A = this chain, B = another copy of it.
Amino acid sequence: MSEAPVLDLASLRRGCAFCSLQQLCLPAGINAQELQRLDEIVRRSRPVERGERLYRLGDPLTAVYVARDGAFKTISISEEGEEQVLGFHLPGELIGLDALGAGAHRCEAVALATSNVCEVPFNQLASVAAQLPSLQQQLLKVIGKSVDRDQDHLGMLVRRQAGERIALFLHGLSERYRNIGHSPTQFKLPMSREDIARYLGLALETVSRGFTRLQEDGVIEVVGRRIDIRDIAELDRLAHSAENDEPRRRGRA
């Protein structure tokens, strides 16, 4: 609608060139001139409030999105109206690729916290990408990373032990926080236990017990949504091997 060609300082400063996520996001690997072409099509509107949706089931593909801060979940709604969590999206991670196949969204993207979002109109992105090989390359790479996250998610769900899934989940989150420059050992979960449960295919009580168990074993410290990973090596081990060695412990190892 309002395509203001007026470049004031404030909006420039909010552009890709100043963004801390630059190296992870679409701009990675493209030069300053090219960056401007990209920047021109990116829309940065008011913050999205917790609970708001970027798009709904069935909406036509109009744009892809990247959060600059905050977090999102993507959910699909089953016939009976119960929701499955298909993914969590931290800053810098592309949102909206679920519409690439059919041209319409097959899930909904819900803000887990108030977030500033970059909206990239898809058609324009595609045509600019066709002209800038390095952007095309980066677009494919970013899509690929999204595929990788889906496969990591599969890797959790295919595990049969709840403890393994939970350990993998925390381990993966830790990695992702590290990537965006946050502490990999201390962070605040943006999602509820129920969201985690619906992401991991578990009952929420099981998630809660899993956290408690990890805390009892000295692997993490958890207070509500605050997580502090104390023994990342052990978390790693639990995530991968069977975790059945220690029958049960009270204190630390």
Q: Which residues of A contact B (CB under 8 A)?
A: 76, 78-80, 84, 86, 97-103, 106-107, 126-127, 129-131, 133, 136-137, 140-141, 143-148, 150-151, 153-155, 157-160, 198-199, 201, 240-242
Chain B residues near A76: list those with CB within 8 A: 151, 155
The residue from B79, B86, B137, B141 contacting A241, defined by CB atoms under 8 A apart: B79
- Closest CB-CB distance, A158 to chain B, in whole Å? 4
CB distance from A140 to the nearest CB of B (A): 6
| A84/B155 in contact, CB under 8 A | yes
Q: How far is the CA of A209 from the CA of B55 in the complex (A)?
A: 40
Q: Cβ of B148 and Cβ of A98 under 8 Å apart?
A: yes
User: Within the oligomer, what is the number of copies of this chain?
Assistant: 2
With A98-B147, A126-B133 known, 16 other A-B pairs at CB within 8 A are A76-B151, A79-B240, A80-B240, A86-B151, A100-B140, A100-B143, A100-B144, A100-B147, A126-B136, A129-B136, A136-B136, A150-B150, A153-B154, A157-B157, A157-B158, A159-B201
* Cα distance A198–B160 in the bound complex, in angstroms: 10
Known A101-B141, A126-B136, A201-B158; judge A150-B148 contact (CB<8 A): no
